[in-house]
Structure 1
Amino acid sequence: MTTAKPPVEAPSMLPDQMEKERVYRWDKRKSLSDAFLMSRLPGLRTDVYKIINKGISENPAGDPAISIEHPFSMTIVGIEPDHGNGLHSHTTQEVFFPLDGNLVFAWGDNAEHSLELGPWDVITIPENVMRQFWNHSGKTVHLLAMLGGTNADTKGSMTYHPRVLEEVQKTGMRLDEEGKLVLPTEKATG
Protein backbone atom coordinates (compact mmCIF):
# COMPACT_ATOMS: atom_id res chain seq x y z
CA MET A 1 0.00 0.00 0.00
CA THR A 2 1.32 3.41 -0.94
CA THR A 3 0.75 6.34 1.33
CA ALA A 4 0.88 9.92 0.24
CA LYS A 5 3.75 11.98 1.58
CA PRO A 6 2.93 15.36 3.06
CA PRO A 7 3.63 18.16 0.60
CA VAL A 8 7.05 19.74 0.89
CA GLU A 9 7.09 23.48 0.69
CA ALA A 10 9.10 24.35 -2.39
CA PRO A 11 11.27 27.44 -2.33
CA SER A 12 9.89 30.36 -4.25
CA MET A 13 12.27 31.34 -7.02
CA LEU A 14 11.87 34.24 -9.40
CA PRO A 15 13.10 33.87 -13.00
CA ASP A 16 16.15 36.10 -12.44
CA GLN A 17 17.29 34.00 -9.48
CA MET A 18 16.61 30.74 -11.34
CA GLU A 19 18.63 32.01 -14.31
CA LYS A 20 21.54 33.10 -12.11
CA GLU A 21 21.76 30.01 -9.89
CA ARG A 22 20.35 27.05 -11.81
CA VAL A 23 20.61 27.60 -15.58
CA TYR A 24 23.47 26.75 -17.94
CA ARG A 25 23.41 28.48 -21.33
CA TRP A 26 25.38 26.70 -24.07
CA ASP A 27 25.97 30.00 -25.91
CA LYS A 28 27.88 31.31 -22.85
CA ARG A 29 29.95 28.17 -22.36
CA LYS A 30 33.59 28.11 -21.34
CA SER A 31 35.69 25.04 -21.86
CA LEU A 32 38.65 23.71 -19.95
CA SER A 33 41.14 21.92 -22.20
CA ASP A 34 43.45 20.81 -19.38
CA ALA A 35 40.96 19.44 -16.87
CA PHE A 36 42.89 16.20 -16.34
CA LEU A 37 46.43 15.01 -15.84
CA MET A 38 46.27 13.26 -19.24
CA SER A 39 44.90 16.29 -21.14
CA ARG A 40 48.15 17.27 -22.82
CA LEU A 41 49.16 13.84 -24.03
CA PRO A 42 49.09 13.30 -27.81
CA GLY A 43 45.60 12.30 -28.93
CA LEU A 44 44.01 12.93 -25.53
CA ARG A 45 42.84 16.52 -25.98
CA THR A 46 39.24 17.19 -25.01
CA ASP A 47 37.24 20.33 -24.26
CA VAL A 48 35.48 19.91 -20.92
CA TYR A 49 32.39 21.96 -20.06
CA LYS A 50 31.61 21.59 -16.35
CA ILE A 51 27.90 22.15 -15.82
CA ILE A 52 26.98 20.69 -12.41
CA ASN A 53 29.58 19.93 -9.70
CA LYS A 54 33.32 19.80 -10.28
CA GLY A 55 33.18 16.05 -10.69
CA ILE A 56 36.62 14.58 -11.19
CA SER A 57 38.39 17.58 -12.72
CA GLU A 58 41.92 17.86 -11.38
CA ASN A 59 42.31 21.45 -12.54
CA PRO A 60 41.34 23.86 -9.73
CA ALA A 61 40.13 26.33 -12.38
CA GLY A 62 37.37 23.92 -13.43
CA ASP A 63 34.46 25.47 -11.58
CA PRO A 64 31.02 24.36 -12.77
CA ALA A 65 28.56 26.78 -14.37
CA ILE A 66 25.88 25.80 -11.81
CA SER A 67 27.52 26.04 -8.41
CA ILE A 68 24.72 24.61 -6.26
CA GLU A 69 25.80 21.16 -4.99
CA HIS A 70 24.01 18.14 -6.47
CA PRO A 71 24.42 14.38 -5.76
CA PHE A 72 25.97 13.93 -9.24
CA SER A 73 28.12 15.81 -11.71
CA MET A 74 27.18 16.67 -15.28
CA THR A 75 29.75 17.54 -17.91
CA ILE A 76 29.78 17.94 -21.67
CA VAL A 77 32.99 16.84 -23.36
CA GLY A 78 33.98 17.85 -26.89
CA ILE A 79 36.22 15.23 -28.47
CA GLU A 80 38.16 16.13 -31.61
CA PRO A 81 38.58 13.57 -34.41
CA ASP A 82 41.08 10.82 -33.55
CA HIS A 83 41.18 11.92 -29.90
CA GLY A 84 39.77 10.51 -26.68
CA ASN A 85 40.87 9.99 -23.12
CA GLY A 86 43.36 7.70 -21.43
CA LEU A 87 42.48 4.49 -19.64
CA HIS A 88 41.36 5.23 -16.07
CA SER A 89 38.83 4.25 -13.42
CA HIS A 90 36.65 5.96 -10.79
CA THR A 91 35.29 4.91 -7.42
CA THR A 92 31.83 5.93 -8.63
CA GLN A 93 29.66 4.90 -11.57
CA GLU A 94 29.87 6.92 -14.77
CA VAL A 95 27.25 7.34 -17.49
CA PHE A 96 28.12 8.36 -21.07
CA PHE A 97 25.66 9.69 -23.64
CA PRO A 98 27.02 10.62 -27.11
CA LEU A 99 25.08 13.65 -28.35
CA ASP A 100 26.02 14.23 -31.98
CA GLY A 101 28.24 11.44 -33.29
CA ASN A 102 29.70 7.98 -32.73
CA LEU A 103 32.25 7.14 -30.05
CA VAL A 104 34.00 3.90 -29.15
CA PHE A 105 33.92 3.02 -25.45
CA ALA A 106 36.49 0.53 -24.15
CA TRP A 107 36.77 -1.06 -20.72
CA GLY A 108 38.74 -3.69 -18.85
CA ASP A 109 42.20 -3.72 -17.29
CA ASN A 110 43.78 -3.15 -20.72
CA ALA A 111 40.73 -1.86 -22.65
CA GLU A 112 40.19 -5.36 -24.03
CA HIS A 113 36.42 -4.89 -24.50
CA SER A 114 34.74 -2.21 -26.61
CA LEU A 115 31.47 -1.06 -28.14
CA GLU A 116 30.65 1.75 -30.54
CA LEU A 117 27.75 3.97 -29.50
CA GLY A 118 25.91 6.52 -31.59
CA PRO A 119 23.87 9.61 -30.74
CA TRP A 120 21.37 9.04 -27.94
CA ASP A 121 22.87 5.64 -26.97
CA VAL A 122 23.85 5.28 -23.31
CA ILE A 123 26.50 3.22 -21.52
CA THR A 124 27.08 3.07 -17.78
CA ILE A 125 30.45 1.95 -16.45
CA PRO A 126 30.59 0.38 -12.95
CA GLU A 127 32.84 1.57 -10.16
CA ASN A 128 36.56 0.70 -10.31
CA VAL A 129 36.45 -0.53 -13.92
CA MET A 130 39.10 0.89 -16.27
CA ARG A 131 37.46 2.81 -19.11
CA GLN A 132 38.16 5.18 -21.99
CA PHE A 133 36.42 6.59 -25.05
CA TRP A 134 37.65 7.47 -28.52
CA ASN A 135 36.41 9.47 -31.50
CA HIS A 136 37.22 7.74 -34.81
CA SER A 137 34.94 9.99 -36.85
CA GLY A 138 36.03 12.92 -38.97
CA LYS A 139 34.28 15.53 -36.84
CA THR A 140 34.21 16.77 -33.26
CA VAL A 141 31.72 14.77 -31.19
CA HIS A 142 30.08 15.98 -27.98
CA LEU A 143 29.37 13.65 -25.09
CA LEU A 144 27.27 14.10 -21.96
CA ALA A 145 29.05 12.49 -19.00
CA MET A 146 27.48 12.04 -15.59
CA LEU A 147 29.31 10.81 -12.51
CA GLY A 148 27.59 9.76 -9.29
CA GLY A 149 28.41 11.56 -6.06
CA THR A 150 28.92 15.00 -4.63
CA ASN A 151 32.14 16.98 -5.03
CA ALA A 152 33.44 15.40 -1.82
CA ASP A 153 32.60 11.90 -3.12
CA THR A 154 34.42 12.37 -6.43
CA LYS A 155 37.51 14.25 -5.23
CA GLY A 156 40.54 12.11 -5.90
CA SER A 157 38.39 9.30 -7.33
CA MET A 158 40.38 8.83 -10.56
CA THR A 159 42.99 6.10 -10.93
CA TYR A 160 45.10 6.15 -14.10
CA HIS A 161 46.34 3.09 -15.92
CA PRO A 162 50.13 2.70 -15.45
CA ARG A 163 50.77 3.33 -19.20
CA VAL A 164 48.98 6.69 -18.96
CA LEU A 165 51.04 7.66 -15.91
CA GLU A 166 54.28 6.75 -17.74
CA GLU A 167 53.35 9.09 -20.60
CA VAL A 168 52.28 11.87 -18.21
CA GLN A 169 55.62 11.78 -16.40
CA LYS A 170 57.36 12.67 -19.67
CA THR A 171 55.37 15.94 -19.91
CA GLY A 172 56.32 17.35 -16.51
CA MET A 173 52.68 17.48 -15.39
CA ARG A 174 51.80 16.07 -12.01
CA LEU A 175 49.20 16.11 -9.25
CA ASP A 176 49.94 17.86 -5.97
CA GLU A 177 49.24 16.33 -2.55
CA GLU A 178 45.59 17.50 -2.78
CA GLY A 179 45.09 15.87 -6.20
CA LYS A 180 45.16 19.16 -8.13
CA LEU A 181 46.82 19.46 -11.50
CA VAL A 182 50.23 21.14 -11.60
CA LEU A 183 51.32 22.14 -15.10
CA PRO A 184 55.02 22.28 -15.97
CA THR A 185 56.52 25.73 -15.79
CA GLU A 186 57.06 27.22 -19.19
CA LYS A 187 60.63 28.30 -19.94
CA ALA A 188 60.99 31.92 -20.96
CA THR A 189 62.24 32.53 -24.46
CA GLY A 190 64.32 35.49 -25.24
Structure 2
Amino acid sequence: MATARHPRPPELEHASLEDIAARYVGRFRDKTPDWAAFEDAKIEGFKRAQHRFIGAGGSGKHDDASAIPARGFTLSIMYVEPGQGNAAHTHEVEEVFFVLQGFLDVFFEDEAGNKAWRRLAPWECAACPPGVIHGYENRSLEPVYFQVMLGRAQPELMGYASDDLFQKRDGHLKSIPRG
Protein backbone atom coordinates (compact mmCIF):
# COMPACT_ATOMS: atom_id res chain seq x y z
CA MET A 1 0.00 0.00 0.00
CA ALA A 2 1.26 3.49 -0.87
CA THR A 3 1.29 6.38 1.59
CA ALA A 4 1.13 10.01 0.48
CA ARG A 5 3.76 11.84 2.55
CA HIS A 6 2.34 15.28 1.78
CA PRO A 7 -1.26 16.47 1.87
CA ARG A 8 -3.17 17.26 -1.29
CA PRO A 9 -4.22 20.86 -1.81
CA PRO A 10 -7.75 21.51 -0.50
CA GLU A 11 -9.33 21.52 -3.97
CA LEU A 12 -7.99 18.01 -4.64
CA GLU A 13 -8.63 16.37 -1.26
CA HIS A 14 -11.58 14.36 -2.55
CA ALA A 15 -10.79 14.32 -6.28
CA SER A 16 -10.56 10.95 -8.00
CA LEU A 17 -7.39 9.93 -9.81
CA GLU A 18 -9.29 10.09 -13.09
CA ASP A 19 -10.37 13.68 -12.34
CA ILE A 20 -6.79 14.63 -11.46
CA ALA A 21 -5.40 13.00 -14.61
CA ALA A 22 -8.03 14.69 -16.77
CA ARG A 23 -7.24 18.18 -15.38
CA TYR A 24 -3.47 17.90 -14.92
CA VAL A 25 -2.37 16.43 -18.26
CA GLY A 26 -1.90 18.76 -21.21
CA ARG A 27 -1.48 17.54 -24.78
CA PHE A 28 -0.01 19.60 -27.60
CA ARG A 29 -2.65 18.29 -30.02
CA ASP A 30 -5.34 19.84 -27.82
CA LYS A 31 -3.73 23.29 -27.69
CA THR A 32 -4.80 26.16 -29.93
CA PRO A 33 -1.95 28.50 -30.82
CA ASP A 34 -2.61 32.01 -29.52
CA TRP A 35 -1.16 34.43 -32.09
CA ALA A 36 -2.48 37.40 -30.08
CA ALA A 37 -1.09 36.39 -26.68
CA PHE A 38 1.05 39.52 -26.38
CA GLU A 39 0.59 43.13 -27.44
CA ASP A 40 3.84 43.18 -29.44
CA ALA A 41 2.76 40.06 -31.39
CA LYS A 42 0.68 42.39 -33.59
CA ILE A 43 3.89 43.94 -34.96
CA GLU A 44 5.89 42.45 -37.82
CA GLY A 45 9.12 41.03 -36.41
CA PHE A 46 7.45 40.05 -33.12
CA LYS A 47 4.80 37.58 -34.39
CA ARG A 48 4.68 34.32 -32.49
CA ALA A 49 2.21 31.76 -31.17
CA GLN A 50 1.87 30.70 -27.54
CA HIS A 51 0.59 27.25 -26.58
CA ARG A 52 -0.35 27.48 -22.88
CA PHE A 53 0.19 24.36 -20.79
CA ILE A 54 0.46 25.53 -17.17
CA GLY A 55 -1.00 28.87 -16.16
CA ALA A 56 -0.96 31.83 -18.49
CA GLY A 57 2.66 32.89 -18.79
CA GLY A 58 3.58 36.56 -19.07
CA SER A 59 0.61 37.38 -21.28
CA GLY A 60 -1.70 38.08 -18.35
CA LYS A 61 -4.42 35.81 -19.75
CA HIS A 62 -5.01 33.98 -16.50
CA ASP A 63 -8.40 32.53 -17.38
CA ASP A 64 -7.38 29.98 -20.05
CA ALA A 65 -9.61 27.02 -19.12
CA SER A 66 -7.55 24.56 -21.16
CA ALA A 67 -4.35 25.29 -19.23
CA ILE A 68 -3.31 23.19 -16.25
CA PRO A 69 -3.78 25.26 -13.09
CA ALA A 70 -0.55 26.97 -12.05
CA ARG A 71 0.80 26.81 -8.51
CA GLY A 72 4.38 28.10 -8.53
CA PHE A 73 5.26 28.68 -12.20
CA THR A 74 3.87 28.84 -15.72
CA LEU A 75 4.84 26.80 -18.77
CA SER A 76 4.12 27.50 -22.43
CA ILE A 77 5.47 26.33 -25.75
CA MET A 78 6.27 29.11 -28.22
CA TYR A 79 6.34 28.75 -32.00
CA VAL A 80 8.41 31.38 -33.79
CA GLU A 81 9.06 31.57 -37.53
CA PRO A 82 12.33 32.87 -39.02
CA GLY A 83 12.74 36.63 -38.68
CA GLN A 84 10.29 36.88 -35.76
CA GLY A 85 10.88 37.20 -32.02
CA ASN A 86 9.69 39.40 -29.19
CA ALA A 87 10.27 42.92 -27.96
CA ALA A 88 12.85 43.65 -25.28
CA HIS A 89 11.20 43.34 -21.87
CA THR A 90 11.59 42.50 -18.19
CA HIS A 91 9.65 40.45 -15.65
CA GLU A 92 9.39 40.61 -11.88
CA VAL A 93 10.36 36.93 -11.80
CA GLU A 94 12.83 34.69 -13.61
CA GLU A 95 11.96 33.63 -17.17
CA VAL A 96 13.50 30.53 -18.77
CA PHE A 97 13.71 29.66 -22.48
CA PHE A 98 14.42 25.98 -23.25
CA VAL A 99 14.76 25.08 -26.95
CA LEU A 100 13.01 21.92 -28.13
CA GLN A 101 13.42 22.19 -31.92
CA GLY A 102 15.36 24.67 -34.04
CA PHE A 103 17.62 27.54 -33.02
CA LEU A 104 16.82 30.61 -30.96
CA ASP A 105 18.95 33.72 -30.50
CA VAL A 106 18.40 35.28 -27.06
CA PHE A 107 19.72 38.58 -25.81
CA PHE A 108 20.34 40.36 -22.54
CA GLU A 109 20.25 44.15 -22.80
CA ASP A 110 21.31 47.08 -20.62
CA GLU A 111 19.62 50.49 -20.38
CA ALA A 112 22.10 51.93 -22.92
CA GLY A 113 20.87 49.46 -25.56
CA ASN A 114 23.95 47.20 -25.51
CA LYS A 115 23.06 43.55 -26.12
CA ALA A 116 24.80 40.26 -25.37
CA TRP A 117 23.48 37.60 -27.80
CA ARG A 118 23.61 33.81 -27.38
CA ARG A 119 22.36 31.18 -29.83
CA LEU A 120 20.50 28.27 -28.24
CA ALA A 121 20.28 24.89 -29.97
CA PRO A 122 17.91 22.05 -29.04
CA TRP A 123 18.21 21.05 -25.37
CA GLU A 124 19.86 24.33 -24.39
CA CYS A 125 18.36 27.05 -22.22
CA ALA A 126 18.73 30.61 -21.01
CA ALA A 127 17.53 31.86 -17.62
CA CYS A 128 16.65 35.56 -17.59
CA PRO A 129 16.89 37.05 -14.07
CA PRO A 130 14.17 39.40 -12.77
CA GLY A 131 14.61 43.01 -13.88
CA VAL A 132 17.15 42.22 -16.63
CA ILE A 133 16.02 43.38 -20.10
CA HIS A 134 15.93 40.40 -22.45
CA GLY A 135 14.24 38.91 -25.49
CA TYR A 136 14.75 36.62 -28.43
CA GLU A 137 14.71 36.36 -32.20
CA ASN A 138 14.65 33.44 -34.58
CA ARG A 139 17.61 34.32 -36.79
CA SER A 140 17.71 30.86 -38.39
CA LEU A 141 16.06 29.58 -41.57
CA GLU A 142 13.64 27.20 -39.84
CA PRO A 143 10.83 27.65 -37.28
CA VAL A 144 11.74 27.16 -33.63
CA TYR A 145 9.72 25.57 -30.82
CA PHE A 146 10.79 26.32 -27.27
CA GLN A 147 9.48 26.11 -23.76
CA VAL A 148 8.99 29.26 -21.68
CA MET A 149 8.65 29.16 -17.90
CA LEU A 150 7.96 32.06 -15.56
CA GLY A 151 8.63 31.76 -11.83
CA ARG A 152 5.17 32.65 -10.52
CA ALA A 153 1.72 31.14 -10.98
CA GLN A 154 0.28 34.50 -12.05
CA PRO A 155 3.11 36.75 -13.17
CA GLU A 156 2.59 40.42 -13.92
CA LEU A 157 2.37 41.53 -17.54
CA MET A 158 5.76 41.83 -19.18
CA GLY A 159 7.44 45.18 -18.80
CA TYR A 160 8.33 46.25 -22.33
CA ALA A 161 11.55 48.27 -22.54
CA SER A 162 9.93 50.47 -25.22
CA ASP A 163 7.81 53.25 -23.69
CA ASP A 164 5.29 53.01 -26.54
CA LEU A 165 4.78 49.25 -26.11
CA PHE A 166 4.75 49.57 -22.32
CA GLN A 167 1.84 52.04 -22.54
CA LYS A 168 -0.12 49.57 -24.72
CA ARG A 169 1.00 46.35 -23.02
CA ASP A 170 -2.47 45.22 -21.93
CA GLY A 171 -4.15 45.76 -25.33
CA HIS A 172 -4.23 42.02 -26.03
CA LEU A 173 -6.31 41.43 -22.89
CA LYS A 174 -9.28 43.30 -24.38
CA SER A 175 -9.81 40.44 -26.84
CA ILE A 176 -10.27 37.80 -24.12
CA PRO A 177 -13.79 36.35 -24.32
CA ARG A 178 -15.44 36.55 -20.91
CA GLY A 179 -17.94 33.85 -20.05
TM-score tier (shorter): 0.7 to 0.9
Unaligned residue ranges in structure 1 (runs of 5+)? 1-5, 184-190
C-alpha distance in structure 2 between counterparts of 1:14 and 1:58, whole Å = 30
Equivalence map 1:1-190=2 (5 Å): 7-9=5-7, 13-15=16-18, 17-59=19-61, 63=64, 65-109=66-110, 110=113, 112-151=115-154, 154-156=155-157, 158-162=158-162, 165-166=163-164, 168=165, 174-175=168-169, 181-182=173-174
Q: 1:70: how far off?
A: 1.5
Task: Measure the CA separation in 1 of the matches of 2:64 and 2:91.
Answer: 20
Alpha carbons of 1:8 and 1:58: their partners in 2 closer, same or farther (altered >3 Å)?
Answer: closer
Task: State whether residues 175 and 182 of structure 1, in contact with CA within 8 Å, keep that contact through their aligned partners in structure 2.
Answer: no
Instruction: Please state how far the C-alpha of 1:135 moved relative to its aligned partner.
Output: 0.6
Are the equivalent residues in 2 in contact too, given 1:31–1:47 (CA < 8 A)? yes
Aligned-partner residue type, residue 57 of structure 1: S
Question: Percent identity among equivalent residues?
Answer: 25
Aligned alpha-carbon RMSD (Å): 2.5
Contact 1:43/1:82, CA 8 A, preserved across alignment? yes
How many angstroms apart in 2 are the aligned matches of 1:13 and 1:138? 47
Alignment CA distance shift 1:136-1:175 (3 Å): closer
User: SS state of the match for residue 34, structure 1?
Assistant: coil
SS at match of 2:45: coil
Alpha-carbon distance between aligned partners in 1 of 2:174 and 2:17, rounded to the nearest angstrom: 41
| CA distance in 2 between partners of 1:67 and 1:119 (Å) | 25
CA distance in 1, matches of 2:169, 2:173: 5
Deviation at 1:175, TM superposition (A): 4.5
May I ask how many residue pairs the two structures share in their alignment?
A: 165
Unpaired segments of 5 or more residues in structure 2? none
Cα deviation, 1:147-184, whole Å, max 9, x if unaligned, reads 00121xx123x21112xx43x59xxx9355xx86347x
Offset, 1:59: 4.9
Displacement over 2 Å in runs of 4+? 6-15, 64-69, 173-176, 179-183
Seen in structure 2, the aligned counterparts of structure 1 residues 74 and 135 have a Cα distance that, compared at 3 Å, is same
Mapped partners of 1:88, 1:9: distance in 2: 38
Indicate if the aligned counterparts of 1:51 and 1:64 stay in contact, CA closer than 8 A: no
Q: How far has the Cα of 1:9 moved from its partner?
A: 4.9
Q: Report the TM-score, using the length of structure 2 for normalisation.
A: 0.81
Cα offset, 1:101, TM superposition:
0.9
**Distance (whole Å) between structure 2 residues aligned to residue 80 and residue 111 of structure 1:** 25
Alpha carbons of 1:65 and 1:9: their partners in 2 closer, same or farther (altered >3 Å)? same
